[in-house]
């Protein structure tokens, strides 16, 4: 049996500083983009013919990064004491989505979180 991977994206603008990393230790900003992908078994597709509604995945993605927008990520509780790298942003998004996924989409499981720090730099986290 196959599985469907269903994705939606969200974006935010935020600054960070990465201690001990050449040039990145200066405060700078990015227009970040994330893509949330959930996995749904083929046999869970219901009468609508959809694995999940894109809008639900999109809302989960948007909610997961809502408090990152127009912030210095280093100041957020989620990144207290650590550098808010793309890897840690992906992990935090993954935690937030997993907490909400079962209620929002019980038939789906979190497959991966992609985070673009620039249009050409991407991290993928698979829980
Ligand atoms: Zn950066």
- The sign one gets for the Cα dihedral 119, 64, 123, 16 is positive
Q: Give the count of beta carbons closer than 10 Å to the beta carbon of residue 108.
A: 22
Report the b/e string of 36-50 with b at 16+ CB within 10 A.
Answer: bbbbbeeeeeeeeee
pLDDT in tens, 44-96: 998 999 999 999 999 999 999 999 999 999 999 999 999 999 999 999 999 99
pLDDT in tens, 13-54: 999 999 999 999 999 999 999 999 999 999 999 899 999 999
**pTM metric for this prediction:** 0.95
Give the rounded distance of the alpha carbon of 22 from its chain centre: 26
Say how many Å lie between the CA of residue 9 and the centre of ligand 1: 20
Q: Output the pLDDT for position 116.
A: 98
> 93 — phi, psi (to 5°)?
-60, -40
Domains of the chain, earliest start first: 3-125 (3.30.479.10)
Say how many Å lie between the CA of residue 20 and the centre of ligand 1: 13
Say how many Å lie between the CA of residue 50 and the centre of ligand 1: 37
Say how many Å lie between the CA of residue 85 and the centre of ligand 1: 7
Q: Band the pLDDT of 110: cuts 50, 70, 90.
A: very high
Q: Output the pLDDT for position 19.
A: 93
- Reported as type and span, the H/E element at residue 41 is strand 28-41
């Amino acid at each position: 049996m196959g599985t469907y991977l269903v994705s939606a994206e969200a974006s935010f603008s935020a600054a960070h500083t990465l201690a001990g990393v050449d040039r990145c230790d200066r405060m700078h900003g990015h227009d970040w983009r994330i893509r949330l992908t959930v996995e749904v078994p083929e046999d869970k597709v219901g009468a609508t013919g959809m694995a999940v509604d894109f809008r639900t995945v999109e809302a989960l993605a948007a909610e997961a990064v809502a408090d990152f927008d127009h912030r210095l990520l280093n100041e957020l509780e989620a990144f207290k004491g650590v550098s808010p790298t793309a890897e840690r942003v992906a992990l935090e998004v993954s935690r937030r989505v997993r907490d909400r996924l079962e209620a929002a989409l019980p038939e789906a499981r979190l497959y991966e979180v992609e985070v673009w720090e620039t249009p050409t730099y991407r991290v993928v986290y698979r829980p």
